[in-house]
C-alpha cells in the first residue's frame, strides 16, 4: 500500500485536501470514498488504518478533510451538515473525473450519516458502510445542547467537542433540524453494512439498530465488541477495513481488468514493506501478508517468507496430485500435506563446500484420502516430486534484479 496527496475543489471553490491509499500494484479492484467523523480529519489514526486495510485488500480509498478542518480551506464555522454532504459529492465527482467513480462509500460517526444522505446522489455507489454512525442528527444537537441557548441568542457560540473548541452558528443547528435521516436510509437502494460497538459511549448501539431497522435488504450489521467510538485499537480498525473489503466484493463485481489479467495468466507479484517487517503482497490481485515472529521484532501478522515458500511447495504438490488423479480418474477424495523447513548441516553434500555448510531441507508428509490401491498411492508419491515448484527449488534459478525510479506523489 502507498499513499498519494491530492486536492480538489468543492462547490464553494475551497480547495479540500485529500489522500488516496492505493494497493501495492496500483491496480485497485474498486475505489472507496471515506467520510471522517465530525471535527476529525483524514489523518486520524482510526480512519487511516481502516483505509490502509482496505488498500491491502485491493480497494483504493480517497479520504479527505471537510471544509475548514485539517488541511482543507474554508472556515468550519461557515459549514453545515448539508455542506458536508456537498463536499462528499464534490469528492465523488472528482474521483469520477480523475480516478474512478467510487463504488463503496464509508462514513465514520457523523460522516456515516453524511454518506447515507449522499449515497442516493452518487450513481456509481454500490455498497455503503457506516461505522459508529448516528441514526439521526438530533444526536449531534444533543451534544451541543449546553450552548444551544447562546447560539440561538447570539447567533453563534464556541463549543468544546472532544476537548477542542469549535465555533458553531445558528445556521448549523437549523440545518441539522431540517435533516430527515429515516427517509434517506429507507431509500438508500444500496447494500448496507453497519458497524457499531455495544460499548460506544459517544453514539449508543441503539443508533445502529435504528439504521438497520430503517434500511431495506441487502443489509448486515457487525458488533465491534470492546471497540471504542474512535476505533483507537489498531486491530479494531484493521478488522473493519478487511471486513468491508470482503463484504463489498459481492456487490461491486469483478472489474474487467482483473478478468483480463486472469485470462492472460499474468505472473505479477508486487511486494511493499514500510514500517517494521509487516509486508503487503498482491499476487495477481490476491492480497497476502508476510511478517516475522515477535521474537525478532516482527508483529506476526502473517507467515514468514520461508513459510510462504513451504506453502507454495505444499500447494503446488497438492494441486499436481489432484490434476494427475483427475486425469487418471482415480478415486482421490482429498490431499493433505504437512511441511517443515529447516537449515541443516551438510558436510558431504554434493556441490556444498566449506566447514559448517548448510542446505535448505524441506520435510513433506502427504496424506492421500480415498479408495486408492497401493500402486496408485506409490505412483502419486512419485508424481509429488515432479510438481513445478519442487523442480524450481531443486534446480538452479536465475534472478535478475534492477533498480527502478521511485514513485513520486
pLDDT digits (tens, 9 = 90+) for 328-347: 999 999 999 999 999 887 66
The answer to whether the CB of 88 falls within 8 A of the CB of 72 is: no
Q: Is 284 contained in some domain?
A: yes
Please check whether residues 83 and 220 belong to one and the same domain: yes
> Which residues in 197-290 belong to E strands, given as ranges?
219-223, 269-273, 279-283, 286-290
- The answer, yes or no, to whether residue 157 has pLDDT greater than 90, is no
Whole-number Cα distances in Å, 408 to 4, 5, 269, 405: 8, 10, 21, 9
Whole-number Cα distances in Å, 322 to 36, 218, 256, 316, 366: 48, 38, 30, 10, 12
* CA–CA dist 204, 225 (Å, integer): 13
Q: What percentage of residues in the chain have a pLDDT greater than 90?
A: 69
Please identify, among 253, 285, 314, the residue that sits at the C-terminal boundary of a domain: 253
User: What mean pLDDT is reported for the chain?
Assistant: 89
Q: Is 406 contained in some domain?
A: no
Report which of 127, 51, 63, 54 is spatially closest to residue 91, judged by C-alpha positions. 63
Q: Which domain holds residue 318?
A: 305-394
Q: Identify the residue with better confidence: 88 or 396.
A: 88
pLDDT in the model for residue 8: 97
Please check whether residues 272 and 327 belong to one and the same domain: no
CA neighbours closer than 13 Å in the CB half-sphere of residue 28: 28
Please check whether residues 217 and 235 belong to one and the same domain: yes
Residue 349: pLDDT band by 50, 70, 90 thresholds? low
Judged by DSSP in three states, 41 sits in coil
How many domains does the chain contain in total?
A: 3
Residues facing 321 on adjacent strands: none
* CA–CA dist 341, 393 (Å, integer): 12
CA 355 to chain centre: 49
- The answer, yes or no, to whether residue 37 has pLDDT greater than 60, is yes
pLDDT in the model for residue 217: 96
Q: Is 399 contained in some domain?
A: no
Q: Is 155 contained in some domain?
A: no
Place of cell 477542542: 164
Q: Which three cell numbers stand for residue 212?
A: 438497520
| Cα torsion angle, 25, 26, 30, 31, sign | positive
Please check whether residues 108 and 14 belong to one and the same domain: yes
Q: How many CB atoms lie within 10 A of CB 251?
A: 17
Count how many residues are written for the chain. Answer: 409
Q: Is 159 contained in some domain?
A: no
Q: Is 160 contained in some domain?
A: no
Amino acid at each position: 500500500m502507498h499513499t498519494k496527496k491530492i486536492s480538489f475543489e468543492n462547490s464553494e471553490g475551497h480547495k479540500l485536501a485529500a489522500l488516496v491509499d492505493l494497493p501495492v500494484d496500483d491496480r485497485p479492484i474498486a475505489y472507496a470514498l471515506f467520510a471522517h467523523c465530525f471535527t476529525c480529519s483524514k489523518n486520524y489514526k482510526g480512519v487511516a488504518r481502516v483505509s490502509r486495510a482496505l488498500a491491502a485488500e485491493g480497494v483504493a480509498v480517497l479520504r479527505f478533510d471537510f471544509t475548514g478542518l485539517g488541511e482543507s480551506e474554508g472556515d468550519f464555522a461557515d459549514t453545515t451538515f448539508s455542506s458536508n454532504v456537498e463536499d462528499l459529492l464534490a469528492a465523488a465527482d472528482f474521483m469520477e473525473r480523475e480516478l474512478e467513480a467510487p463504488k463503496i462509500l464509508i462514513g465514520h460517526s457523523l460522516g456515516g450519516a453524511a454518506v447515507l444522505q449522499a449515497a442516493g446522489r452518487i450513481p456509481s455507489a454500490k455498497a455503503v458502510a457506516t461505522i459508529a454512525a448516528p441514526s439521526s442528527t438530533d444526536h449531534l444537537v444533543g451534544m451541543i445542547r449546553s450552548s444551544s441557548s447562546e447560539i440561538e441568542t447570539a447567533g453563534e457560540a464556541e463549543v468544546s467537542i472532544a476537548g477542542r473548541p469549535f465555533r458553531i452558528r445558528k445556521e448549523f443547528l437549523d440545518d441539522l433540524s431540517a435533516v430527515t435521516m429515516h427517509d434517506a436510509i429507507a431509500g438508500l437502494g444500496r447494500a448496507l453494512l453497519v458497524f457499531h460497538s455495544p460499548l460506544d459511549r459517544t453514539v449508543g448501539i441503539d443508533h445502529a439498530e435504528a439504521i438497520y431497522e430503517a434500511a431495506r435488504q441487502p443489509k448486515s450489521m457487525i458488533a465491534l465488541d470492546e471497540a471504542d467510538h474512535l476505533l483507537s485499537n489498531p486491530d479494531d480498525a484493521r478488522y473493519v477495513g478487511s471486513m468491508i473489503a470482503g463484504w463489498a466484493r459481492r456487490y461491486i463485481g469483478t472489474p474487467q481488468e482483473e478478468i483480463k489479467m486472469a485470462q492472460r495468466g499474468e505472473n505479477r507479484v508486487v511486494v511493499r514493506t514500510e514500517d517494521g517487517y509487516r509486508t503487503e503482497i498482491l499476487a495477481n490481485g490476491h492480497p497476502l501478508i508476510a511478517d516475522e515472529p515477535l521474537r525478532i521484532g516482527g508483529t506476526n501478522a502473517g507467515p514468514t517468507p520461508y513459510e510462504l515458500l513451504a506453502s507454495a511447495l505444499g500447494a503446488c504438490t497438492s494441486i499436481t496430485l489432484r490434476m494427475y488423479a483427475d486425469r487418471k480418474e482415480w478415486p482421490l477424495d482429498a490431499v493433505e500435506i504437512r511441511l517443515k523447513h529447516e537449515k541443516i548441516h551438510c558436510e558431504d553434500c554434493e556441490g556444498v563446500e566449506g566447514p559448517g555448510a548448510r542446505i535448505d531441507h524441506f520435510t513433506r508428509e502427504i496424506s492421500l484420502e480415498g479408495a486408492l490401491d497401493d500402486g496408485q498411492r506409490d505412483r502419486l508419491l512419485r508424481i509429488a516430486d515432479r510438481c513445478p515448484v519442487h523442480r524450481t527449488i531443486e534446480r538452479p534459478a536465475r534472478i535478475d534484479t534492477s533498480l527502478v525510479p521511485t514513485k513520486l506523489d
